[in-house]
Amino acid sequence: MSKLRVNAFSISVDGYGAGPCQDAENPVGLGGLALFEWVFGTRTFQRMHGGGGASTGSTGIDDDFAARGFDNVGAWILGRNMFGPIRGPWPDLAWRGWWGDNPPYHVPVFVLTHHARAPLEMEGGTVFHFVTGGIHEALARAREVAAGKDVRLGGGVATIQQYLRAGLVDEIHFAIAPVLLGRGEHFFGDLDLPALGFERSEHVATAHATHVVFTRR
Amino acid sequence: MSKLRVNAFSISVDGYGAGPCQDAENPVGLGGLALFEWVFGTRTFQRMHGGGGASTGSTGIDDDFAARGFDNVGAWILGRNMFGPIRGPWPDLAWRGWWGDNPPYHVPVFVLTHHARAPLEMEGGTVFHFVTGGIHEALARAREVAAGKDVRLGGGVATIQQYLRAGLVDEIHFAIAPVLLGRGEHFFGDLDLPALGFERSEHVATAHATHVVFTRR
């Protein structure tokens, strides 16, 4: 059964999933990079972004969680701000995502937006599809191409909240970073995850993050 | 220098410091006890509440944090709901706190309330003083009796937030419990701790909780 999963979703102690003032220089907002310190040193991240060889980066719990996020994933869904800093109509087609020519997805990625755009084929198997019909359409299309594999919901905060409230998320893994952000995209406060059926299925902490997985009954 | 400290303040992954619907049967609200599972097994808690001998309960990191909360504390400050479930004027003087005849404080405790009441002397050195003049008056009186020792701010959420916003808290220790509450007293979301000068001074996790201490510059 294909699941809709959130993996490696990093939040601060004070519940922020991104800092404020996202722009081209600050893809996860001011101060937001601190949320991801647990992942930067892992072998999974280093292989994908670091340009290191197969033996670069740490193994262990943090790496296992980072790696697990790519297991059995047939498609991704992203909110538009996860794709780029542009708001409103596309001024041109110059913006091709945060990741360069070869993004780390290697499968179809469905980007939620109010502004239509032709699919964008990148190197390495990633194809960005721009979905203007809302979260249900994006999930239906992602499930179709995933062909039995899971769909990973990458973020951001508002997109994950929408899918959670619609009762569509099966599993969510939080990596709690030992930092405060103070401002930005707050994840909790009006989101009742127990009422939505979530129960803890895993809990393990490292020196860099506390990993907690909640699964929907 | 006498500090105003928050110790062993337990929060859920989703940022709640207590569950909803506090009443006489649910001192920390519905589901709120799950926040404190990390402390119940510790030697410090067992000595204070468990009736066990000196060797009952676990030692180690969780116990160290529980014990540290009582070191060098000369007075406490509590919001009224930390003292009891009664709202509005005191109907009579029958309510004497959640803790029985010998509360675990053993020093003067200043209870913030809008409804005056004579001091209440308990066994073991605890004296509850009811302060109607607000947070600054409570802190001044607590500092005076603490005579150079620290003042511990016990909670609840609204009381700690008030002291934080007033710039009066020097140190706050969060114990993040690996649970969701979904509803209740939410601690974060409109509280910018970095802007208030807080920086992380400690981070260590156990199987039961993630401990993070923030200290004001």
Check pLDDT > 80 for residue B54.
Answer: no
B165: contact with A, CB 8 A cutoff: no
Q: How many CB atoms lie within 10 A of CB A91?
A: 8
pLDDT on residue A52: 64
- Chain B residue with CA closest to A203: the answer is B178
Task: For domain A4-16+27-85+100-216, give the CATH superfamily.
Answer: Dihydrofolate Reductase, subunit A (3.40.430.10)
Check whether B55 has a pLDDT greater than 80.
Answer: no
Proportion of chain B above pLDDT 90, given as a percent: 91
Size of interface A-B (CB pairs under 8 A): 82
Q: Is there a cis peptide before residue A156, judged by omega within 30 degrees of 0?
A: yes
Closest CA to A185 of A4, A35, A25, A83: A35
Task: Supply the mean pLDDT for chain B.
Answer: 95
Q: Which of A15, A31, A200 sits opposite B179 (nearest CB)?
A: A200
* Cross-chain residue pair B210–A176, CB shorter than 8 Å: yes
CATH fold label, B4-86+100-216: Dihydrofolate Reductase, subunit A (3.40.430)
Tell me the pLDDT tens digit for each residue of A167-212.
999 999 999 999 999 999 999 978 999 999 999 999 999 999 999 9
8 Å CB contact of A192 and B212: no
Q: How is chain A split into domains, by residue range? A: 4-16+27-85+100-216
Rounded to whole angstroms, how far apart are CA atoms A179 and A82? 22
Mutate to test the interface with A, among B6, B203, B213, B215 (most CBs of A within 10 A): B203
Distance between CA A149 and CA A3 in Å, rounded? 8
Partner B contacted by A172 (CB < 8 A): no
**Residue numbers in B near A212 (CB within 8 A):** 13, 178
